[in-house]
Amino acid sequence: MPRLVRGSVVVHRRRCGKPTCRCADGERLHEAPVLSYSERGRTRFLMLPAADVAAVRAAVERYRTRKGRLEAEGDAGLAALVAALAGRRARPR
């Protein structure tokens, strides 16, 4: 299992299409865990075997944490750059 996975684990609920199946009443639908992710602007889904769901959730969570930290670092760097350049401009030459 990869350490980091981009996307979200969601549960798809749907009918299988068999007219005699329990899901045909539209209430007792089949539930399937999938990884939802975007690729070139399109949302795609990857069916997840039940045995892998927990590990994929954990990898998605690690990705979010890492991404949040990276964005915070990038924001801090941007703020520092803006402040440094503004200070340089304010200084007399």
52: left (phi over 0), alpha (psi -120 to 50) or beta: alpha
The answer to whether the beta carbons of residues 48 and 24 sit under 8 Å apart is no
**Which of 4, 10, 11, 16 forms a contact with Zn ion (CB under 5 A)?**
16
21 binds Zn ion (CB under 5 A): yes
Decide whether 19 or 87 has the Cβ nearer to Zn ion: 19
23 binds Zn ion (CB under 5 A): yes
Minimum distance from residue 27 beta carbon to Zn ion (Å): 11
Decide whether 16 or 78 has the Cβ nearer to Zn ion: 16
Residue 24 DSSP class: G
* Strand (E) or helix (H) holding 1: none
Residue corresponding to tokens 């941007």: 78
User: Which residue ranges make up the site for Zn ion (CB under 5 A)?
Assistant: 16, 21, 23
